[in-house]
Structures are given as C-alpha cells and as structure tokens.
Amino acid sequence: MHLNAQKVNEKAKAYRDSTAEMLSKIIKVPAYSGTEKERIALLQELCQKAGFAEVRVDGLGNLLARVGNGPKKLVFDAHIDTVETGDRSQWKLDPFSGLVKDGLVHGRGASDQLGGAASMITAGRILTDLGYAGDYSVWFAFTVMEEDCDGLCWKYLIEKEGFRPDFFVSTEPTSCRIYRGHRGRMEIEARFKGVSCHGSAPERGKSAAYMAAKAALAIEKLNTELKSDDDGFLGKGTITVSKIDVRGPSLCAVPDQGMIYMDRRLTWGETLELAVEQVRKAILAAGVESVEVSVPNYDKPSWKGTIHAQELYFPTWKISADHPLVRAGEDAHQALFGSKAVVDKWTFSTNGVAVCGRHKIPSIGFGPGDESQAHAPNEINRIDDLEKCAAFYAGLPYALESQA
C-alpha cells in the first residue's frame, strides 16, 4: 500500500489537540512499576474509543491494541509506568497536573514515556480512519514495569505468550530522531566479610567499611579503563557505584559486613561474564582479600500478581544503518516531513534490551520529547512532537511495505 503523506499529516494535525489532551489524562493517573492497574484501565478505554480492531490485557498486565490484520507483526511500544517524583520542592507545578499550555504538556512521564503512548493511540486512530489493510498487523503495546526492570514485559510477551514481533519500534523519547541501538546495562553487587570488634580497639578486627571504600575507589579507576566499541557508535562502557552499605554489631563496633552496588553500562561486545570478572579482579587488585560478586535477580509481582523473574542483565543491541527497518523509517520521515532523518542512539536503556538484545528482533526508536527530560523535575513534552510522532507511526507500515 502507498503512503499518502498528505492525508496522514492532515489527520495528525486534526487530532493534535486530542493527542495532547490524552497525554494530559494519562499523566493525571499515577502509575509506578507494579501499580499500573488504573492507568492500564484508562488506556484500554482510550484505545477502545479510538476504534482499534482488538484491545486486550495479557497475563502480566500489558495492554495490547491492534489495527489491521496482515500476516506480519509491526509493534509500537510505550512503557506506561514512571519513576517517582523525587523532591516535590523542585517541581514548579504538581507533577500530575497534566497542564497543557503554550505548546507543552507538563508532568511526570510526559516524555518518559507517556507522550509516546498518546501518539500511538492517535496513530491507531489515523490508520483506522484510512482503512489500513496492508501486510502488517500493527500492534500498539502499552507495557508495564520497565522502570524497575527494562525489557521484562517483552521477555514475558515473547517467552510466555509467544507474541513475537517481526519489527519493533520503541517510542521512548528521541527528539523525533531515528535511533537504532543503545548500550546494554546490568546491576552488580559485591559483598565483603570482615571481623567485628569493639570500636575502642579497631586493630583487633577487619573493617568491612574499609574494604568497601577500597572497592569503590577500584571501581572508579575501572571506569576510566573501559573501552569504546570498534566503530564508536555506542561509545564506551561505564561503571559507577550507586550504593554503599556496611553493617556490624553496633555503632560502637568495627563493621563485619560490607556491600557496594554498581550500575554497569555495556558497549558492543561486552558481556555479563566479562563485566563480573572485571569487577572481581579490580577489587582484589585494590587489596581486598576476598569478595563475592553477583548479579541480583528481579522478582517483583506485576499489578496482576504475576511474577516473571529475571537477572538484572540487559543486553546491548543495535541494527545496521542500512537495515530495511531503518531505511523505511528514513523514507517515512522524508515523505511526511520533507527532511532527512537524523539517525543516532540512546544514552539510556529501553525495552529494546529484550526485543533486540535477547531475541534479535529488528528494532528502532522514534519518540516525542527529549531524553534529558527523563527522570527530571518539571518534565515536559512538546505538542509538536506528539503530532509528528503520530504521523510517523501511522506512516511507517506503508513505508515498510515499500521496502519489500
């Protein structure tokens, strides 16, 4: 089927205000990882009103909505949980105000990533209006628990429900650029055992606090030694200590237990095993006699009570610049907006770690709003971006058919 860019753009413009109002409504219903029930119910209602051919909730609590009935699956994804608000005094407005003013929508999740969800619903409405009946079943996935455990929702969909896309589009914020990958990540825990004694004679014991301090400095040094990928696209791996904890019999004693927790970003070619061994060697080289290094598990129940546990490891992913999915995105961008798309990558992590990282399904990103807005106070999204993304999502199925 041919992409009629003029009609798609006209529809996106006609629905511009309603897209912004939808985003406002979604923001007003708070939802953190594991507590998304009310927001999913709202989104289900919005999808039904938009005229999707099928709307259903899966066993974990993700919402899936479909337009078209083609043999191939094209999936657009928005996680609909957000991080918490943090220090409320840093917010100029109520984080859940959903204020629409001066071309902006305000509130927690406006960019990360409820703006993508609102544009997806409008795109489904556009495709329905246009009577899309091409090669794709176009699915819109409103997924849960990403902020706690990115990709868990898609690991569940693919491995437990057998719902496997042919192509996948994340609507995380990209400033309306096409992204084709990002570094992976993992969480690492290192534990130390000392010997406690009375604080009046610390020489009698072995302080786990000093072990933790040496380990933290070793990780700081390790970060400077990590390398970039061969082509420089994703950049270097990084590691940082995000938590230090020491415990003992009392506050008047040398602590006998220590722990440091680390956030590790993985560039192309870096693996879980490599990263764990790097940490172990760096800590031992810093003079710590013994250390236990592990990757923690995530096993929190979803809002439906379902547990789908996994280790906190999220593989790196990218696809080539000349992949048909990237080319289709570029074609849709040129046809709809009359300009060449910028192709780049995210700094942070997305559900692509499961879809492309674990399961090798071709994936790109295109989303409203800026990555810098994620997790920040006074989060906003541009209504211009919402309109543009709605048009892009509606146009991409047609552009993909032209690539065949």
- Domain-terminating residue out of 244, 266, 298: 298
Residue 364 domain boundaries: 5-182+316-403
27 domain-assigned: yes
pLDDT in tens, 288-324: 999 999 999 999 999 999 999 999 999 999 999 999 9
pLDDT band at 211 (very low <50, low <70, confident <90, very high): very high
Report phi then psi at 227, rounded to 5.
-105, 165
Within-domain flag for 172: yes
Q: What is the number of domains present in the chain?
A: 2
Residue 156 lies in a domain: yes
Give me the chain's average pLDDT, please: 97
User: Do 12 and 115 fall into the same domain?
Assistant: yes
The answer to whether residues 125 and 199 belong to one domain is no
Model pLDDT for residues 7-56, shown as the tens digit of each residue: 999 999 999 999 999 999 999 999 999 999 999 999 999 999 999 999 99
Contacts of 282 (CB under 8 A, 6+ apart): 218, 219, 221, 222
pLDDT of 403 reads 79
> Which of the following is catalytic: 146, 147, 187, 270?
146
| End position of a domain, from candidates 267, 298, 329 | 298
**Are 31 and 162 in the same domain?**
yes
Catalytic pick among 36, 81, 187, 379:
81
> Is 24 a domain residue?
yes
pLDDT in tens, 221-269: 999 999 999 999 999 999 999 999 999 999 999 999 999 999 999 999 9
Q: Is there a catalytic annotation at residue 81? A: yes
pLDDT tens digits for range 95-121 = 999 999 999 999 999 999 999 999 999
Whether residues 248 and 383 share a domain: the answer is: no
- Of all residues in the chain, the percent with pLDDT exceeding 70 is 100
In this structure, the answer to whether residues 345 and 382 fall within a common structural domain is yes
C-alpha pair distances (Å), 119 with each of 22, 110, 114, 346, 393: 9, 12, 9, 20, 8
The 10s digit of each residue's pLDDT in 382-403 is 999 999 999 999 999 999 998 7
323 and 336 fall within a common domain? yes
Q: The CATH number of the domain where 379 resides is what?
A: 3.40.630.10
User: Of 278, 280, 235, 243, nearest to 262 (Cα)?
Assistant: 243
Q: Does some domain include residue 114?
A: yes
pLDDT given for residue 231 in this prediction = 95
Task: Please identify, among 272, 298, 324, the residue that sits at the C-terminal boundary of a domain.
Answer: 298
| Residue 334 located in a structural domain | yes
pLDDT of residue 1: 75
Gap between the Cα atoms of 376 and 366, Å rounded: 20
pLDDT given at position 404: 66
Tell me how far apart the alpha carbons of residues 312 and 142 are, in angstroms, rounded to a whole number.
22
In this structure, what CATH number is given to the domain that contains residue 277?
A: 3.30.70.360
Q: Looking at the domain assignment, is residue 304 inside a domain?
A: no
Q: Are residues 12 and 36 in the same domain?
A: yes
Same domain, yes or no: 192 and 166: no
CA distance 315 to 87: 32
Give residue 312's identity as a one-letter amino acid code. Answer: L
Please choose, from the candidates 76, 47, 110, the residue with its C-alpha nearest in 3D space to the C-alpha of residue 366. 76
Assess whether 176 and 191 both reside in one domain: no
Do residues 383 and 343 share a domain? yes
Is residue 177 domain-shared with residue 106, that is, in the same domain? yes
Confirm whether 83 is domain-assigned.
Answer: yes
- Measure the CA–CA gap between 151 and 145, rounded to whole angstroms: 8
Catalytic-residue membership of 146: yes
- Same domain for 188 and 157: no
